[in-house]
Amino acid sequence: MIDVKGVHKSFGDLEVLKGIDLEVPAGAVTVILGPSGSGKSTLLRSINHLEKVDRGLIRIDGELIGYRRRGNKLHELREREILRQRSQVGFVFQTFNLFGHLTVLENVVEAPVSAQRRKRSEVEPYARELLERVGVGDKADVYPRQLSGGQQQRVAIARALALKPKVLLFDEPTSALDPELVGEVLDVIKELARDGATMVVVTHEIGFAREIADTVVFIDDGRIVESGPPREVLDNPVHERTRAFISKVL
Partner 1 sequence: MSTTSVTSVSGTSGPPTSAVPLETDLPIVARRHPWRWVGVGVVLVLLAMFVHGLATNPGWDWPTFFQFFATRTIFSALWVTVQLTVYGTVLGFVLGAVLASMRLSSSPFLQVVAWGYIWAFRSIPLIVQLLFWFNIAYLYQQLSIGIPFGPEFVHFSTNNLFGPLGAAVLGLALHQAAYAAEIIRGGIISVDAGQTEAAAALGIPKPRQFFRIVLPQAMRSILPNGANEVISLFKGTSIVSVMAIPELFYQVQVIYGRSGRVVPLLMVATVWYIVLTTLLSIVQYYVERRFARGTAR
* Cβ closest to partner 1, residue 84 vs residue 194: 84
| Contact string (CB under 8 A) for partner 1, positions 149-188, x = contact | ----------xx--x-------------------------
- Regarding 119 and contact with partner 1 (CB under 8 A), the answer is no
CB of 78 to partner 1, least distance (A): 11
Neighbours of 168 (CB within 10 A): 22
Q: How many residues bind partner 1 (CB under 8 A)?
A: 32
Helix, strand, or coil (residue 76): strand
Cβ-contact 91, 48 below 8 angstroms: yes
CB of 86 to partner 1, least distance (A): 4
- Radius of gyration in angstroms for the set of CA atoms belonging to the chain, rounded to a whole number: 18
CB of 93 to partner 1, least distance (A): 6
CB of 239 to partner 1, least distance (A): 32
* Cβ closest to partner 1, residue 20 vs residue 108: 108
CB of 65 to partner 1, least distance (A): 13
Cβ-contact 202, 41 below 8 angstroms: yes
Stretch that binds partner 1, among 10-18, 128-136, 142-150, 200-208 (CB under 8 A): 142-150
Residues 6+ apart with CB under 8 A from 71: none
Residues 77 and 96: their CA atoms lie apart, in Å, by 27
Residues 149 and 95: their CA atoms lie apart, in Å, by 9
* Cβ closest to partner 1, residue 9 vs residue 86: 86
Opening angle at CA 148, ends 134 and 159, nearest 5: 40
**CA distances for 38 relative to 32, 35, 218, angstroms:** 11, 6, 9
Contact set with partner 1 (CB under 8 A): 48, 50, 79-80, 83-89, 91, 93, 95, 97-103, 110-111, 114-116, 143-145, 159-160, 163
